[in-house]
């Protein structure tokens, strides 16, 4: 498995989805926010959808979903992930991430977006809607919610807490499948290629910072997000729950009670919905965004 450029893997994703026609134009863009690079993949010239990935992932996790969606979009590398800069203070809380995303959207002049966020990205999207409602015209939260506890995401925390230096990328793929992160080996292999680098000694390491926390801090950010960050806005909201994901029944019930305007759909996937059912997620996003056109 070798390194991939920004578009190498799109043909394989398109073939799996049955998407015909020319592949979309995808380019790497980035701006400095508070002196740190925030990087993203821009699909087309005028993005109307902004997508925020989960902990330990990167912008390429959305490739298949965006091929299925067929919309111009911006897939962001959250701070400390992908090509975005690491923070010396290891502060990757949703509200901190939201500040960086807002700076990126301001610099690119995107205007209000349908903001889609999965896991940590979902909580970041909620924080963005609270802090900068002018940038959010609709909100899609994927397998995340205020009220979610770190312990609910034990599958990811245990995966990130394991060995972080590997003999090969194939070893990481094997570990991911064993941990239940996904089951499509080819798709996971492409994701690992985008999310790792090979050191001079031949060892493989992650590109994201969460795998290498300072000794005096925990390996995952504080994901605490107040309900007021969501209930204090009036934008359309869609909660996408993964049937085999992390959201407990009590959190989903509280979501329905606190955000009665929200639509809740459930897809028969694990936590990484965007990789395991990209077509289903794209259809859900399209249904929410369509009334605004």
The pair of three-digit structure tokens given for residue 72, joined into one six-digit string: 């111009």
At residue 128, the pLDDT reads 97
Check whether 26 has a pLDDT greater than 50.
Answer: yes
Whether the model pTM is above 0.85: yes
**In this structure, what token pair is assigned to residue 230?**
């969501």
Tokens of 247: 């959201």
Largest CA distance in the chain: 54
Give the model confidence (pLDDT) of 140-174 as tens digits: 999 999 988 666 666 666 666 666 899 999 998 99
- State the pLDDT confidence band at 2, using cuts at 50, 70 and 90: low
Tens of pLDDT, residues 30-48? 999 999 999 999 999 999 9
The class (CATH top level) of 10-292 is alpha beta
Catalytic annotation, residues: 119, 143, 271
DSSP codes joined into one string, 41-59:
EEESSS--EEEE--TT--G
Strand order in the sheet with 204-206: 165-166, 204-206, 196-198
Annotated domain spans of the chain: 10-292
In whole angstroms, how far apart are CA 207 and each of 62, 128, 192, 194, 224?
17, 24, 10, 9, 24
Residues 97-128: pLDDT tens digits?
A: 999 999 999 999 999 999 999 999 999 999 99
């Amino acid at each position: 498995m070798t390194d991939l450029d920004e578009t190498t893997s799109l043909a394989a994703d398109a073939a799996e989805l049955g998407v015909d026609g020319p592949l979309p134009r995808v380019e790497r863009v980035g701006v400095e926010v508070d002196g740190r690079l925030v990087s993203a993949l821009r699909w087309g010239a005028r993005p109307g959808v902004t997508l925020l990935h989960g902990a330990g992932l990167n912008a390429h996790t959305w490739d298949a979903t965006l091929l299925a969606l067929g919309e111009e979009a911006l897939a962001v590398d959250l701070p400390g992930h992908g090509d975005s800069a690491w923070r010396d203070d290891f502060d990757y809380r949703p509200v901190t991430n939201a500040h960086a995303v807002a700076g990126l959207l301001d610099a690119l002049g995107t205007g209000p977006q349908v903001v889609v966020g999965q896991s940590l990205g979902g909580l970041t999207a909620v924080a963005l809607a609270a802090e900068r409602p002018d940038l959010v015209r609709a909100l899609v939260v994927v397998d995340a919610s205020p009220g979610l506890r770190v312990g609910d995401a034990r599958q990811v925390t245990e995966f990130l807490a394991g060995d972080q230096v590997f003999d090969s990328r194939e070893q990481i793929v094997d570990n991911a499948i064993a941990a239940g992160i996904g089951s499509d080996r080819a798709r996971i292999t492409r994701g690992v290629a985008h999310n790792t680098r090979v050191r001079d000694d031949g060892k493989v390491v992650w590109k994201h910072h969460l795998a290498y926390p300072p000794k005096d801090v925990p390996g995952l950010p504080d994901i605490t997000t107040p309900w007021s960050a969501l209930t204090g806005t009036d934008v359309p909201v869609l909660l996408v729950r993964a049937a085999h994901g992390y959201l407990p029944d009590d959190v989903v019930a509280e979501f329905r009670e606190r955000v009665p305007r929200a639509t809740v759909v459930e897809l028969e996937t694990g936590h990484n919905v965007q990789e395991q059912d990209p077509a289903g997620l794209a259809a859900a996003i399209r249904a929410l965004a369509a009334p605004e056109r």
